[in-house]
Amino acid sequence: MSKTNKKVVPESGKALDILKYEIAAELGLPVGKQMASMNVEFATELGSNPSQQVKEDYWGHIASRDAGAVGGTITSRLIKKAEETLFGL
């Protein structure tokens, strides 16, 4: 059985990415542009990390627990927003 990951609203991808990085920043996680300007730049200068391989969207150094916290917070906020919309809170 093939599993596909299709979004109901494909245009929501960019908004979810913005929310993901916003929450990561609130939790103090060094991802995205923050990571590119910190240790990765230093490692690139030392030659242990080629500059062509530096990516803004790198989450490999983040613990599973922290990545899960970001996902859980996204879910909580989306549910809260849906409830506010449905019930006029």
Return d(Cα 36, Cα 58) in angstroms, integer: 9
With a cut of 50, which residues of the chain have pLDDT below it? 34-38, 40, 42-54
Check residue 89 and give its pLDDT: 65
Looking at residue 34, what is its pLDDT? Answer: 46
The rounded distance, in Å, linking the Cα atoms of 25 and 21 is 6
